[in-house]
Every structure is written in structure tokens, then in C-alpha cells.
Amino acid sequence: MSHNIWLAASDGDLAAVKTFINEKGISINAQDEFGYSALHAAASYGHKELITYLLENGANVNIQDPEGDSPLFVCETVDIAEMLVKAGADAKHINENEMTAAENAEEEEWLEVAHYLRELTGVPHPDEVDELEDDMSHLMEEKDSDDSSDDEDKKENSESSTVFKERIEAIMKATEADGVDRDDELKAVVAEMLATAGPDAAAALSEQLQALEKK
């Protein structure tokens, strides 16, 4: 049998984990010297049966290590992340490095997990905001050309595009800071962008937005 509950959880040894908890009196939320709990270990290695047992028997799904990482931060696959989220894992939690689980997943290159968590929280990837701003600028330039606008109009439209980007970034930062869902605010800003772009440009931008959402 494994030497401790954390190694047992890493190995997916359900029988050993039960022995540590039921016979040796180890707390289900006990943490090792690095702040890892059995749930951290089970989630990291993707042991579904063990995760289910731990959650059903009182494991804290939002328990944190010294860096503020909850078990959601160590999920390498979407199905494991979904299990924790359904059990109450806070997808908007920010750790000591000011990162969300989605951002951590991106850094670790667990891209499917990152995408799932961003979809869940409604916070787009910063690159998507940049792409949206670029698309908006391009479409506004086309509109200027079609309308034979003067330099002053072009300057105003460029400034307008920058303002939209800054508003979107501000909403994203606020959401990451306090965890409040601001999906409606983001949609409102996008709606203003579409209205500003004009009918033809708006239609094109809408297609590009839909393409971004499918990524």
C-alpha cells in the first residue's frame, strides 16, 4: 500500500485511500507539505472513481494550496474539470499569481480545458479581444473608403475602435477581479460596435464573431 493518502490518490488506489480515511483517521482534506490534498492528486491524474468518492464524502472542491491553486487548477482534461465544476468548483477563483484556472491551463497548454473554462465564465481570451479590435478597425476603414470620408472621420473611427477595446478589457479585468458575471455587459459593448460599424460592416463583423466563438 502507498505510504500516504496523497500517493494513494495519485495512484488512483481507492482502497488505500479509504483505509487511510476510515481506519487510520486521516482527514479527507488533509494536505501534504506542498499543500496538495487527495482531491488535488486525484484530479491531477484523472482518477474519476476516486474523485467521485472524495467529493461524495466531504472533500473540499475549492481547497487551496499555498499558491491559491484549487484542484481545478491541476485538471488536464475537460471531463475532470467538468466533474469539479458540477461539484461546486469556482472557475473564477484567482490564485496568488493573479491567474484563473483558465489562464493556468493556457500556460500549461491544456488548451481544451482553458477553452471550456473560458466558455463557462464568459471571459474571452485576450487574443480574441485583440482580433475583435483588429476586425473592427479593418471594417471601419472599409466603411470610410466606401463613404469617401475625410481624415478627421477616419481619426474619430479609429479612436472609437480603441475605446471599444478598452471597454471590453476593463470588463474582463473586473470579472477576473471579483468573479461577477458580466456577460450582458460584454454583449452590450459588442452590440454598440456592430451599430457603429454600419449595416454592411456589422454583417461581416457578426460572421467573424461567430467564427471566434467556434474556436
Question: Quick one: cell of 13?
Answer: 488506489
Per-residue model confidence (pLDDT) at position 30: 98
Question: Quick one: cell of 183?
Answer: 456577460
Q: Say whether both 18 and 102 belong to one domain.
A: yes
What average pLDDT score do residues 152-168 get? 65
Mean pLDDT of the chain: 81
* Residue at which a domain ends, from 96, 121, 146: 121
Q: Say whether both 131 and 84 belong to one domain.
A: no
Predicted confidence band of residue 208 (pLDDT cuts 50, 70, 90): low
What average pLDDT score do residues 93-121 get? 94
Q: Say whether both 117 and 130 belong to one domain.
A: no
Per-residue model confidence (pLDDT) at position 110: 95
CA distances from 44 to 29, 65, 76, 91, 124 (A): 16, 13, 7, 16, 25
Question: Quick one: cell of 126?
Answer: 485576450
pLDDT at 215 over 70: no
Per-residue model confidence (pLDDT) at position 122: 78
* Residue at which a domain ends, from 77, 93, 121: 121
* Residue at which a domain ends, from 81, 97, 121: 121
What's at 155, amino acid-wise? Answer: K
Per-residue model confidence (pLDDT) at position 102: 94
Whether residue 74 contacts residue 42, with contact meaning beta carbons closer than 8 Å, is answered with: no
Name the residue with higher pLDDT: 2 or 199: 2
Residue 46's CATH number: 1.25.40.20
Domain count of the chain? 2
Q: Coil, strand or helix: which one is 29?
A: coil
Per-residue model confidence (pLDDT) at position 178: 73
Q: Looking at the DSSP assignment, which residues form a beta bridge with residue 31? A: 37
Most confident stretch, 24-38, 133-147, 150-164, 169-183? 24-38
